């Protein structure tokens, strides 16, 4: 059975034909803006960006006009390039101040980034993926964007749920799937698609959703999503879950003419590319019917005295402290990570040695920076030394309001501390 024939029992023929035509077209490109950069600055540099109709800080762009993935601002973490359909699950999960959130299958980290930017530093996110190499990529993206409230781990939650019982206020489960919503972006996925793959991923999806339910606090929320258009991986997963869990309900979300709802599950949303400007997604928000209960607080570990002064200077006072692989990390609220491989615990402050030398990741949290003109910014990013006035010692330099990293000022000269692996000439 081919892919479009597999849809025939579930969707109108006109819908399937329009989907087939749309998937033969060009992929649509979009970005999500980091809150370190204001929209006016972005639009002054790229005036033909098109704002998303209802997601604030999201924009569409023409990749031929603006090859943004190769741009300096992308490398500086000014924005995250991601499918506009993928923005909706974190957007509709709607993270709230102080919540502890799990992004269960997170890599490479786009949905985690949106969740983090929506939260600010008023909550914490555990961003996990079963693949360690992809989790390393996720950790790199978290650092590039300067996100300070994200813990990056790698592992499989199935079988370890008891370690996280009643632990998360909200969970985003972007489940592994057969990938039919990505056909336009990668035609190899179309060639590799089989109905057997749909049934195989269906069993994984059911297992992951059961694990998510066990880890949720009373009154919490689970956002289930896939990049598949198959009923078996979408509506069927939710409907079977609701039959087994009478203490959960599917939630109606704000509607839009670009959304498609199957009559079996009108609360679910299909983002078909012939309706919604994006590569496609299915999403459905589930809510536990119990009284809302806040998660249990973990014990805060105090920073050692040698790090308390820099923590205050960089806005990390009151954060939880963790020593990991000879480095100090800080997170707005303590989070446990048993049975998972830990890659990042919030902000990497620096190595635990004297004299203290701040880590590059800490630059994003400095309360003040020295703005650079474009010429010196380019010199900094190339790893050069240049004249710069200021008080001797470590200082953060910035460009267009974006923190670039550290220099060490010595008698009017800025000694470059930009990591060698990031240096390049633009």
Structure tokens at 20: 């087939």
Alpha helices (H) in 183-342, listed in sequence order: 187-192, 195-215, 235-244, 305-313
Residue 23 inside a domain? The answer is no
User: pTM of the predicted model, to two decimals?
Assistant: 0.96
- 284 labelled catalytic: no
pLDDT at position 312, please? 79
Residue 306 inside a domain? The answer is no
Is residue 109 scored above 90 in pLDDT? yes
Residue 426 inside a domain? The answer is yes
pLDDT at position 137, please? 97
Count of the separate structural domains present in the chain: 2
pLDDT at position 87, please? 98
- Tell me how far apart the alpha carbons of residues 386 and 262 are, in angstroms, rounded to a whole number: 61
* Residue that terminates a domain, selected from 16, 47, 81: 81
Residue 351 inside a domain? The answer is no
Residue 70 inside a domain? The answer is yes
Residue 261 inside a domain? The answer is no
Q: Which H helix or E strand runs over 45?
A: helix 39-45
Phi, psi of 76 (to 5 degrees): -85, 0
Q: How many Cβ atoms sit within 10 Å of the Cβ of residue 48?
A: 11
- The whole domain housing 68 covers 29-81
Catalytic residue among 105, 177, 227, 284: 227
Q: How many Cβ atoms sit within 10 Å of the Cβ of residue 189?
A: 17
Q: Tens of pLDDT along 271-328?
A: 999 999 999 999 999 999 999 998 988 988 988 887 888 777 788 888 999 999 888 9
Q: Tens of pLDDT along 145-198?
A: 999 999 999 999 999 999 999 999 999 999 999 999 999 988 898 899 999 999
Residue 309 inside a domain? The answer is no
What average pLDDT score do residues 57-78 get?
96
pLDDT at position 370, please? 95
Q: Tens of pLDDT along 399-408?
A: 998 999 999 9
């Amino acid at each position: 059975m081919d892919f479009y024939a597999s849809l025939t029992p579930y969707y109108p023929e006109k819908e399937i034909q329009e989907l087939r035509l749309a998937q033969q077209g060009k992929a649509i490109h979009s970005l999500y803006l980091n809150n370190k950069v204001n929209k006016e600055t972005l639009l002054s540099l790229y005036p033909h960006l098109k704002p998303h109709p209802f997601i604030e800080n999201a924009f569409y762009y023409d990749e031929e006009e603006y090859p943004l993935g190769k741009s300096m601002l992308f490398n500086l973490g000014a924005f995250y390039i991601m499918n506009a359909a993928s923005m909706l699950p974190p957007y509709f999960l709607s993270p709230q101040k102080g919540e502890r959130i799990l992004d269960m299958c997170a890599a490479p980290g786009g949905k985690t980034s949106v969740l983090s930017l929506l939260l600010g530093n008023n909550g914490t996110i555990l961003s996990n993926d079963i693949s360690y190499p992809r989790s390393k990529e996720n950790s790199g993206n978290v650092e590039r964007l300067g996100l300070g409230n994200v813990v990056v781990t790698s592992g499989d939650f199935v079988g370890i749920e008891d370690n996280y019982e009643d632990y998360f206020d909200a969970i985003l489960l972007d489940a592994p799937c057969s990938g039919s919503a990505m056909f336009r972006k990668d035609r190899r996925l179309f060639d590799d698609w089989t109905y057997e793959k749909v049934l195989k991923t269906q069993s994984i999806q059911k297992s992951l959703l059961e694990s998510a339910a066990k880890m949720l606090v009373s009154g919490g929320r689970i956002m289930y999503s896939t990049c598949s258009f198959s009923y078996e991986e979408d509506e069927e997963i939710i409907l079977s879950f609701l039959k087994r869990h009478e203490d959960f309900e599917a939630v109606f979300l704000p509607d839009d003419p670009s959304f498609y709802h199957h009559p079996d599950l009108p609360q679910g949303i299909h983002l078909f590319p012939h309706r919604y400007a994006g590569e496609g997604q299915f999403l459905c928000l589930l809510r536990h019917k119990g009284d809302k209960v806040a998660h249990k607080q973990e014990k805060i570990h105090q920073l050692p005295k040698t790090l308390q002064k820099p923590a205050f200077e960089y806005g990390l006072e009151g954060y939880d402290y963790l020593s990991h692989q000879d480095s100090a990390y800080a997170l707005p609220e303590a989070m446990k990570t048993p049975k998972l491989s830990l890659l990042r615990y919030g902000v990497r402050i620096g190595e635990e040695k004297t004299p203290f030398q701040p880590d590059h990741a800490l630059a994003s949290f400095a309360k003040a920076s020295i703005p650079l003109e474009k010429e010196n910014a380019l010199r900094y990013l190339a790893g050069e030394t240049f004249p710069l006035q200021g008080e001797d010692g470590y200082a953060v330099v910035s460009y267009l309001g974006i923190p670039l990293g550290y220099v060490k000022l010595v008698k009017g000269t800025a000694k470059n501390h930009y990591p060698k692996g990031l240096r390049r000439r633009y």
